[in-house]
Amino acid sequence: MIPLVKVAFPPKEILLPALESVLYSGQIAEGQQVYDFEAALEAQFGLSNVLAMSSGTAALHAALTLAGVLPGDEVISTPMTAEPTNTSILYCGAKVLWADVDPSSGNICPDSIRKNITKKTKAIVVVHYAGYPVSLRKIRAIADEFNIALIEDCAHALGATYDGKPIGTIGDFGIFSFQAIKHMTTVDGGALTMKNPGHVLAAKKFRWFGMLKGVPRTEVDIHSVGFKYNMNNVNATIGIAQLKHIAPILEKHISNGNYYDTEFEKIPGIDYARCDTEANPSFWLYTLLSDHADDIEKALNSSGVMASKLHRPNNLHSIFSHSSVELPSLEKFYQRLLHIPCGWWVTDEDRARIVEVIKRG
């Protein structure tokens, strides 16, 4: 079976000596490797004010808290995502207001964001779903007009750009995930990016019990709640090794994605997710759209190709029942959605075969 997602690691010869060295160094908690990983992420992806975290979810909790989201506030978000995008809003005691999606991309719809803004809105969370950038130009303008924080969930979109800028730099905050099946993994891990360097100190405290590293433990004074959300040197060492090998991996996702776009353009009844012309997706997954999604899924699965939907629309979870609204475009998108293999492990022969099966189907 050609899988839909696959864990990528650098060659053993590179990774294992680095891991052995850190594991027996006596310094396995947060330290120099973590700070080196942060600097490498900034340099390689053009990000600013990066803090490495224990997970993408921890980074979301930090972003929402730094955006000032408090109990009773409202956060506008998308249901078409992995659950942590939205369960983290509940960590802050806030209410999720669902914006509908654009049925041509599955991404949050700017007009629907605008309709949901109230006096209680503290933040807008957008997800570049499957690696396809949201309409950042319009959404940034809405956030500015109402003076509301914009948080980009970039867990699927490492390496994507919008208007020539790296994803995660147009919002006030960006988050990345290095969980097992993302473009790049540190086993578990995440990163928070901040537009305003004024947030960095508070973010550092938030990720480590409310304290700052470097201040003697007998003198440090905690005056805000912090969590155990820091990354350690072991995960960071994996991250540093990964970054040296990530470019060709991302390139292969992107070249496969562009190949499918070109091929599906020629097949009647087959469409695919589309985003703004300013956007360059990084295709964590490829999003095919068709009225015959179920039949195509069966045809692919019986030809040895994994294809499926990957997430349950989050509004369907009982924990969000108090946020329930009609989302007609989401329903339409979800019905027509099928993810097909697109990552670095999909060879030129594989992708040609996948297109053949779809053509025949």
CA distance 153 to 313: 16
Considering only residues 10, 38, 50, 57, which one is a binding residue for ligand PLP as defined by CB under 6 A? Answer: 57
- Which of 165, 133, 137, 180 shows the shortest CA–CA distance to 152? 133
H or E segment to which residue 340 belongs:
strand 337-340
Q: Is 171 in the site for ligand PLP (CB under 6 A)?
A: no
Considering only residues 140, 156, 336, 339, which one is a binding residue for ligand PLP as defined by CB under 6 A? Answer: 156
Considering only residues 10, 110, 159, 190, which one is a binding residue for ligand PLP as defined by CB under 6 A? Answer: 190
How many CA atoms are closer than 13 Å to the CA of 43, on its beta-carbon side? Answer: 9
45's tokens: 């992806």
Closer to ligand PLP by Cβ: residue 29 or 187: 187
Closer to ligand PLP by Cβ: residue 146 or 208: 208
CA distance 148 to 64: 12
CB of 37 to ligand PLP, least distance (A): 15
Closer to ligand PLP by Cβ: residue 177 or 287: 177
- Contact residues for 332 (Cβ-Cβ < 8 A; gap 6+): 103
Report CA torsion sign: 61, 67, 68, 70: negative
Q: Is 155 in the site for ligand PLP (CB under 6 A)?
A: yes
- Which stretch, 41-49, 80-88, 105-113, 204-212, contacts ligand PLP (CB under 6 A)? 80-88
Q: How would DSSP label each residue in 165-208?
A: EETTSSSSEEEEE--TTSSS-SSS-EEEEESSGGGHHHHHHHTB
Considering only residues 33, 55, 105, 135, which one is a binding residue for ligand PLP as defined by CB under 6 A? Answer: 55
Closer to ligand PLP by Cβ: residue 113 or 154: 154
Closer to ligand PLP by Cβ: residue 8 or 127: 127
- Contact residues for 246 (Cβ-Cβ < 8 A; gap 6+): 44, 158, 159, 183, 184
Considering only residues 85, 256, 314, 315, which one is a binding residue for ligand PLP as defined by CB under 6 A? Answer: 85
User: How many residues contact ligand PLP, by CB under 6 A?
Assistant: 14
The single-letter DSSP state of residue 316 is G
22's tokens: 């850190």
Considering only residues 33, 49, 78, 81, which one is a binding residue for ligand PLP as defined by CB under 6 A? Answer: 81
Residue identified by tokens 């310094």 is 27
- Which stretch, 79-87, 96-104, 250-258, 260-268, contacts ligand PLP (CB under 6 A)? 79-87
Q: Which residues bind ligand PLP (CB under 6 A)?
A: 55-57, 81-82, 84-85, 127, 153, 155-156, 177, 179, 190
